Amino acid sequence: MSTRRKFLFSSAAASIAALAGKKSFASLPAAASKNDPIVISTWDFGKEANAEAWKTLASGGSALDAVEAGVKIPEADPNNHTVGYGGYPDREGHVTLDACIMDMQYRCGAVMCLEHIKHPISVARLVMEKTPHVQLAGDGALQFALENGFQKENLLTPESEKAWKEWLKESKYAPVMNIENQLKLPGGPYNHDTIGMLAIDARGDLSGACTTSGMAFKMRGRVGDSPIIGAGLYVDNEIGAATSSGVGEEVIRIVGSHLVVELMRHGLSPRAACKEAVERIVKRNPVKAKTLQVGFLAINKKGVFGAYALQKGFTFSVKNGREEKILHADSKW
C-alpha cells in the first residue's frame, strides 16, 4: 500500500480543474493510505473550509475536529448567504440553521431550526457528546446552546434583510439551482447551497459535517435534509461517507447519503453510488427532477472520492497534502 495518497486521474478523466476553468470528470481514483489525510466538501466555498480543516488533519488531529473546524469558516462568513451568520432567513425574517456531525463510531448529533447561534455545527457536536440524544430542535436546541456557553446573536445581516424585503414584494418561493455563484446579484435569485464536508485523518478514520441556513424564504419551521443523519450526511467508518446539497425534500425521500454509503458497501464506486442516488430521484418524478438541483458527494475508506448531480454546476473542493482543487461533478443533465 502506498504511504501517500495522491489524486490520480485516468487520461480520459484528466479533468481536475483549478479555480479557473473547471471541467467535469469521469472518475477520480486515489491510492489508499492510512497516513495521508484528505478532506472534501461541497461547492467552491469548500476550498477555504478545507484549508481550515487541513490545519487539523496535517497536525495529526482527528477527522472529527477537522470537519467541525472546517465548516465553521462558512458559518462565520457574513458574505455567505447559505450557511450560518448572514444566511438568508425564512419567509418571516428568521435565520434558522440546520447542522449535523457524525464520527467514525456512528456517534452523531444534530440541531434543527436553531436560531441566534453562529456555529450550529458546534452545538450539534455537543448534542452528540453531552446528551443521550441525536437531535435537538428549535427553542430546545437554543436553550441547550445557551446553557453550554454559546452567545445569542443576531444572524440577520443588513444584506440578507434587504434580500428578504425584496423577496417579500412578490413572496414567490422559487428555488433556483446552483446559487452560490449568483448570490451577489442584487435582489436574488434566492436559494441556498449547503456545506457538507467529509474527511479522513492520519489514522484512516472518517468523519463528516453538514451545515446550512436551508432554503431561502422557506416556511417557518421547515427543516431540510442537512441536519438529518442518513439524508444530508452519513458516515460509516468501514465503508465511507456521503453528503448532499440541493433541494432537501428530494434527498430526504430517498435517505440519500445513507443510500450512497450502502451502495458503496455493495461495491459501487463513490461516483457510481452518487449517480445511482440521483437516478432514484429522477425515477420518482422525472419531470420535477428536471427543475431542481441535488448533488451528492462521497468518499470511500480508501480515499477515492466522487460526486454526481441532477444538473450541471455542482462543484466540490478537495484537499490533500499536495493538492487543493475545485472540481465539477458530472450530472444527469
The least CB distance from residue 254 to ligand SD4, in Å, is: 13
From 251, 210, 264, select the one nearest 84 (Cα to Cα). 210
Binding mask 234-273 for ligand SD4 (x = CB under 6 A): -----------xxxx-------------------------
Interacting positions 180-239 with ligand SD4 (CB under 6 A): 192-194, 212, 214-215, 224-226
Q: Does 61 bind ligand SD4 (CB under 6 A)?
A: no
Distance CA 280, CA 302 (A): 26
Amino acid identity of residue 51, one-letter, is A
Residue placing its CB nearer to ligand SD4 in the complex, 245 or 331: 245
**Catalytic residue ranges:** 194
The least CB distance from residue 180 to ligand SD4, in Å, is: 8
SS3 226: coil
The least CB distance from residue 222 to ligand SD4, in Å, is: 8
Interacting positions 119-178 with ligand SD4 (CB under 6 A): none
Task: Give the Cα-Cα-Cα angle 69, 15, 232 (nearest 5 degrees).
Answer: 40
Residue placing its CB nearer to ligand SD4 in the complex, 192 or 301: 192
The least CB distance from residue 259 to ligand SD4, in Å, is: 15
DSSP structure class, residue 69: H
Task: Report whether 227 contacts 219 (CB < 8 A).
Answer: no
Which residue is associated with the grid cell 482543487?
325
Peptide bond into 286 cis (omega under 30): no
Residue placing its CB nearer to ligand SD4 in the complex, 156 or 195: 195
What cell does 71 get?
465548516
The least CB distance from residue 82 to ligand SD4, in Å, is: 7
From 151, 101, 105, select the one nearest 126 (Cα to Cα). 101
Residue placing its CB nearer to ligand SD4 in the complex, 80 or 320: 80
How many residues bind ligand SD4 (CB under 6 A)? The answer is 13
Task: Specify which residues 315 forms β-bridges with.
Answer: 328
The least CB distance from residue 210 to ligand SD4, in Å, is: 8
Could you tell me how far CA 299 lies from the centroid of its own chain? 13
What cell does 46 get?
469548500
Question: Dihedrals φ, ψ of 17, to 5°?
Answer: -130, 145
SS3 101: strand
Residue placing its CB nearer to ligand SD4 in the complex, 75 or 193: 193
Neighbour-count burial of 85, counting CB atoms closer than 10 A to its CB (0-12 exposed, 13-18 middle, 19+ buried): buried
Residue placing its CB nearer to ligand SD4 in the complex, 42 or 157: 42
Distance CA 61, CA 198 (A): 14
Q: Which residues bind ligand SD4 (CB under 6 A)?
A: 192-194, 212, 214-215, 224-226, 245-248
